[in-house]
Amino acid sequence: MKTTTISLLRQWKQEQKKFATITAYDASFAQLFEEQGLSVLLVGDSLGMVVQGCDSTLPVTVEEIAYHTRCVRRGAPHSLILSDLPFMSYATPEQAFASSATLMQAGANMVKLEGGSWLCDTVKQLTERAVPVCGHLGLTPQSVNIFGGYKVQGRDEIAANQLLQDAQNLEHAGAQLLVLECIPAELARKVTEALSIPVIGIGAGNATDGQILVMHDAFGITGGHIPKFAKNFLAEAGDIRLAIKNYIQQVEESSYPGEEHSFK
């Protein structure tokens, strides 16, 4: 199997070929995902909620992300693996360097961090030190206490303009990938068109270059609140391998996410 790289994702963006991604936390699911064609995997701090049973992502540590990254890397040796820098692990550039080194040495190809233009110096310095960076804008779960809950972001003109500016600034600083979470579909389209780097959406409409889902949402095993953007592909397919293939196909043909999964 050919190894997935950021250069390949850039090529897909240029060719307007959409791609699906998913979260992974262990070797077995990582192997299953890679075998079925999901070759971009995120070891997300969402593991705090879906694996550990916490009520937010905040308790997750760098060491825990590194542990799960090692597991996923063993299961998916050819995939592009993104690993989250957890809460307060990159508050300063020095913290970001140490945290990123731990995750890269565990098998990550890229680290993901949440935040806007204030992170540009950190992104620039990480990139200069051979650490590829994925940005994350919109609903950033580590800021849940600032937002007052998990709410759609960028709905007014000022917030939308700021998000677009943050996205452009992150790209200029060296970010090679961007995740947009829970923002209006039209805003996500504008950001995707404005950037030369690939943009991955979750709750951001179907105009982004790629889509990502928490695996538990894709298989209908999420407890409690089910996000509007989630779709239970397993219930639709009745077989986990077919569910993965359907997810990939529907993303590639832009039938998922539909309007019912998007925000205006």
- SS3 of residue 80 by DSSP: strand
* Helices (H), ranges, 107-226: 120-128, 144-147, 157-173, 185-194, 215-218
Q: Which residues on adjacent β-strands are paired with residue 177?
A: 134
Is-catalytic flag, 252?
A: no
Which structure tokens are listed for 256?
A: 């998922």
What tokens does 130 get? 């051979």
Is the sign of the CA dihedral 252, 256, 258, 264 positive or negative? negative
Q: Which of 15, 94, 181, 259 is catalytic?
A: 181
**Of 258, 259, 250, residue with least CA distance to 20:** 250
* Residues tagged active-site: 181
